[in-house]
A and B are shown apart, each in its own frame.
Chain A
Amino acid sequence: GDSVTQMEGPVTLSEEAFLTINCTYTATGYPSLFWYVQYPGEGLQLLLKATKADDKGSNKGFEATYRKETTSFHLEKGSVQVSDSAVYFCALGSPNNAGNMLTFGGGTRLMVKP
C-alpha cells in the first residue's frame, strides 16, 4: 500500500540556518504530495503542495519539489526562524477518483533556537 517515510526528529537548528526535511514515498500512480505543519495545541495547516512531477510547491519561504524519479518531496527553507518550530508532516493524496484521503509520514519535529 501507499506509504510515506520522513526523517526522524527532532531536528534542532539555530536561527537563520538552512533546513532540509527528507520525505520519500511509495505509491501507485502519481498522487499529489503535501506538506502540513502542526503548531503546539493546534490542528494541521497546509504548508504547500505539488500535484504532478517536477512541480515545485512553495509558501512562507518553504519549498519542495515533486521528484518522480527518486519518489521524494523534500522540504527546504533557506533561513529558519524561531517561529518555524513545529512538527512537519509529509503526506500523499489518494489516487484519482478515490476521494480525499491523506497518507501521512510520521512527522518531524523542528526546534529552532535563537
Chain B
Amino acid sequence: KAGVTQTPRYLIKTRGQQVTLSCSPISGHRSVSWYQQTPGQGLQFLFEYFSETQRNKGNFPGRFSGRQFSNSRSEMNVSTLELGDSALYLCASSRDGPSGANVLTFGAGSRLTVL
C-alpha cells in the first residue's frame, strides 16, 4: 500500500517568494497534518485538516496556510519567504478513530531552502 507522498522533495527559493508543497495521504486517511522540522526548533505542528476543514492550528504566522481537497490531498503554502523558513516540512496522515491515539504516518518530507 502506498505511503504518504510529498512533492517536491527538494526546492530552493529566494526571500520574498512563495512556495506550495503538496501531500497525498494514504488511501482512506482523512486527516492530514503538517509539521516543520528545523535544527533549532525541532518538530513543530503547523496545522491539521480533516474533511477539507482546518481542525487544529499551531503557532505560526499567517504567511503559513494550507488546504485540503475532497480527495484528502493537502497543500500548504508559505508566502513572503524568510530565511528562517528553511526547514524540512513533513506531512502526516491518519485514520480518524479515538482522537489523540491515532498513529500518524509521515511522508519523507519536502526540504525547503530559502536563499
A interface residues (Cβ-Cβ under 8 A, vs B): 31-32, 34, 36, 41-46, 49, 51, 89, 93-107
Instruction: Give chain A nearest CB distance to B9 CB in angstroms.
Output: 10
Q: Are A100 and B33 in contact (CB under 8 A)?
A: yes
Interface size class of B (residues with CB under 8 A): 20 to 34
Q: Would B90 and A98 count as touching, CB distance under 8 A?
A: no
Interface string of B31-69 (1 = CB under 8 A from A): 101010000001101001010000110100000000000
Query: Is B101 part of the binding interface, using a Cβ–Cβ cutoff of 8 Å?
Result: yes
CA distance A45 to B3 in the complex (A): 11
Residue from A32, A43, A105, A106 in contact with B100 in the complex, judged by beta carbons closer than 8 Å: A32
Residues of A with C-beta under 8 A to B107: 43
**Across the interface, which residues of A come within 8 angstroms of B106, CB to CB?**
36, 43-45
For B33, list chain A residues within 8 Å (CB): 100-102
B42 touches A107 (CB 8 A): yes
Answer yes or no: B11 CB below 8 A from chain A CBs. Answer: no
Residue in B42, B48, B102 whose CB lies within 8 Å of A104: B42
Of the candidate stretches B13-21, B76-84, B91-99, the one touching chain A is B91-99
Are B43 and A98 in contact, with the CB atoms below 8 A? Answer: no
The residue that B99 contacts in the complex, of A96, A102, A104, A106, with Cβ under 8 A, is A96
How far apart are A72's CB and chain B's nearest CB, in angstroms? 18
Contacts of B101 on A, CB cut-off 8 Å? 32, 49, 51, 93
Taking a contact as CB atoms under 8 Å apart, the answer to whether B31 and A100 are in contact is yes
Asked if residues B105 and A99 are in contact (CB atoms below 8 Å), the reply is no
Q: In the bound complex, do residue A99 and residue B56 qualify as a contact, i.e. CB atoms below 8 Å apart?
A: yes
Nearest CB in chain B to that of A45: its residue:
B106
